[in-house]
Amino acid sequence: MPWNRPLIIGLLVVLLALTWWRLQPEDEEIRRSQLMMGTVVEIMAGGQGFDKLDAAVDAAFAEMARLDKLLSSHNPDSDVSRLSQSDHGGDVAAATAEVIALGLEVAQRSDGAFDLTLGRLKSLWGFDQETPTVPNRDALATALAGIGPEALSLEGQQVNKRAPQLQVDLGGIAKGYAVDRAIAVLKQYGVTSAAVNAGGDMYLLGQRSRRAKHPERFWRIGLQHPRQKDAVLETVQVRDRAVVTSGDYERFFEQDGIRYHHIFDPQSGLPARGCQSVTIIADSVALGDALATAVFVLGPQAGLLLLTQYPQAEGLIVATDGSLHTSPGWAAYQVTP
Amino acid sequence: MKTPWHFMTAGDWLVVLFLLTAALAGIAWVAAAPEGTRVVVTSGEQTLFIAPLDQPRSVDLDGPLGQTHLVIDEQGVRITRSPCPRKICISMGTARHRGDLLACVPNRILVHIDSSAEEAPYDLLSR
C-alpha cells in the first residue's frame, strides 16, 4: 500500500471524530422556581425531550404542594394542625406517618436533640413573625413541658400524644421529605439528572447533564460560609445524594448584643450554642434535615458520635470557635482545589 | 533512492491539503462551540440575580420604586414592566450580546450580559 494512504485515512478519521463530537445532541435543561413551604423551591431537570422534562417538573411541584398541605403548621386543615389541636392525637396520612416515624427515630437516637414537639416553643420565640422576642424563663418552662422523644408515638398511621398541650412541628424535616418525594416523582418520569433545591436543602439526582462545552459530571455544591456572607466554605461533589445545611446565620436577631437564632436546644429552649453551621450529605433530604438539626444542637463531639450511627450520612461541622470537624467519610465528597 | 514524497501525485497532494484544511477547520469549530453567557443583574454594589442566557425564565426584581419585570427567552433579555416614570428601560429593547446593557436608573436596576467562558465553581449553594 502506498505510504500516503494511511495519512489520508488518518485525516479522515480526525475529521469524522470532530464532526461527531460537535454534532452530538446536547441535553436540554429545565429550571423552574416556585414559592412554597415558606421558601423558594427550584427544580432543575436535564436530559433529552423537553416535553417529558416539563411534565416531570410539573408533577414534582404538584407533589410538593400536596405535601405542603399535609405537613404545614400554617395550614389549619393539615395533619400537623389537626394533631396539635387534638388532645390525644389521631389518624394521619401515610406520608405524614412516614415523616413522623423518621423524626421519632432521629429524636430517640439523638436523645431528644431533634424534637418534633417544639411547636409551642417556636411560637413563643416568634421567628415566623416580624418581631421575634426572647421569652422569659417561666414561659420557656411552660413551652417545654411534656416535650421529648417519648412525647409522640406512632402505631401504623395513628399518632398518639402524651400531653394535650403538645404542638407538633415538622418544620425541621417536612421540607426535606417533600424534596425526596419530588425526586421520586422525577424518577417515575424517567428523569435521570435533576436537582431539587428547597431553600438550600437539596437532592442531586444522577450527574449534571451535558451542556455546551461541558461534559456530564458530578454535581458541585458550594457550602455557605457561616460568617462571610459572599464566601463559600468549601465545595463538594455528589451524585444521588442529599446536601443539607443548618446554620445560625439564616434567621436570627440581636438583643442586648446577643445573637439569637432559630435552631433551639430542646433542653433549654434557647438557641443551641455549639455550632455555627452543620452540613450533612445523606441518602435522603429528610434524614439530612433531621441530622443537621440534631448535630447542630449536640455540638461537634456528640454530633460526630451521632453520625456514626448513620453510615449513609457524612457531616461537616463548623464549631462556635470556627474550627472544622468532619466525619471520616467526608473527604470523599470534597473537591480538591 | 527515492523518498516517500516522490510517490505522491498532484491529486494526492490535493486530497491531503483538503483534509488537512478540513481537520483544522473542525478543530476551530469545536473550540468555537457557544460559550456560556449569562445575565447579571445588579443594584448598586449588590448582585441581585445571575442566570444563564440560554434558559428561558422571567423574574421580578425589587428596586426602590417597586418591581422590575425581566424576561429571558430565545431572543435575549429584556425589561417588560417597570415602575419607573418614563419606561426608558423597556424601550431599550433586547440585550443578547456580551457587554450589552439595560438600565433602569430610577429603580436602580442594571442588567448586563456577561460571558462565563469558565464554568461556575459550583452548581448550587447549600445554606
Yes or no, beta carbons of B124 and A18 under 8 Å apart: no
For A142-158, write each residue's pLDDT tens digit: 999 989 899 999 999 99
Q: How far apart are the first and last CA of chain A?
A: 51
Cα torsion through A93, A94, A100, A101, rounded to 10? 150
Q: Are A210 and A27 in contact (CB under 8 A)?
A: yes
B83 in contact with chain A, both atoms CB, cutoff 8 A: no
Percentage of residues in chain A having pLDDT higher than 70: 94
pLDDT of B108 higher than 60: yes
Distance from CA of B85 to the nearest CA of A (A): 29
Residue with the three cell numbers 424518577: A187
> Hey, are the CB atoms on A202 and B124 less than 8 Å from each other?
yes
Q: Give residue for cell 415558606.
A: A38
- Give A237's pLDDT tier (boundaries 50, 70, 90): very high
- Cβ–Cβ contact B85 with A under 8 A: no
Chain B partners within 8 Å of A20 (Cβ)? none
Q: How far away is chain B from the Cα of A236, in angstroms, using its nearest Cα?
A: 9
Residue to substitute from A11, A230, A243, A285, interface B, most B β-carbons within 10 A? A11
* pLDDT band at residue A22 under the 50/70/90 scheme: low
pLDDT band at A330 (very low <50, low <70, confident <90, very high): very high
Complex ipTM value:
0.86
Q: What value does the mean pLDDT take over residues B59-64?
A: 85
The pLDDT value given to residue B34: 44
- Cβ distance B33 to A22 less than 8 Å, yes or no, reads yes
Residues in a beta bridge with A82: none
Give the residue carrying C-alpha cell 466554605.
A233
**Which domains does chain A show, CATH number per domain?**
26-73+171-204 (3.10.520.10), 79-161 (1.10.3980.10), 218-337 (3.10.520.10)
The predicted-structure confidence for A111-142, as pLDDT tens digits, reads as follows 999 999 999 999 899 887 768 889 999 999 99
Rounded-to-10 torsion of CA A183, A184, A190, A195: 10
Tell me the nearest-neighbour CA distance from A251 into chain B, angstroms: 11
| DSSP E strand boundaries for chain A | 28-36, 39-47, 89-91, 152-155, 158-161, 193-198, 201-205, 219-224, 232-238, 241-247, 252-255, 258-261, 275-282, 314-319, 324-326
- Positive/negative CA dihedral, A152, A154, A160, A165: positive
What is the pLDDT confidence band of residue B99, given thresholds at 50, 70 and 90?
Answer: low
Q: What is the pLDDT of residue A207?
A: 92
* Main-chain dihedrals φ then ψ at residue A16, nearest 5 degrees: -65, -40
Task: Identify the DSSP state of A305.
Answer: H
Q: What is the pLDDT of residue A327?
A: 97
Q: List Cβ neighbours of A99 (8 Å cut-off, separation of 6 or more).
A: A71, A170, A173, A174, A177, A286
> Which grid cell is A99?
415523616
Q: Specify the pLDDT at position A274.
A: 92
Q: Give whichever of A280-284, B109-113, B120-124 has the largest mean pLDDT.
A: A280-284
Which residue out of A1, A3, A5, A7 would a mutagenesis test of the B interface target, given it has the greatest number of B Cβ atoms within 10 Å? A7
CA–CA distance, A306 with A194 (Å, rounded to integer): 30
Q: Which residues pair with B81 in a beta bridge?
A: B69
Is a pLDDT exceeding 80 seen at residue A229? no
Cβ pair B12:A245 closer than 8 A: no
**Backbone torsions φ then ψ of A245, nearest 5 degrees:** -125, 135
Tens digit of each residue's pLDDT (9 = 90 or more) over A249-273: 888 888 888 889 989 999 999 999 9
Residues A12, B19: C-beta atoms closer than 8 Å: yes
- What's the mean pLDDT when you consider all of chain B? 78
B127 touches chain A (CB under 8 A): yes
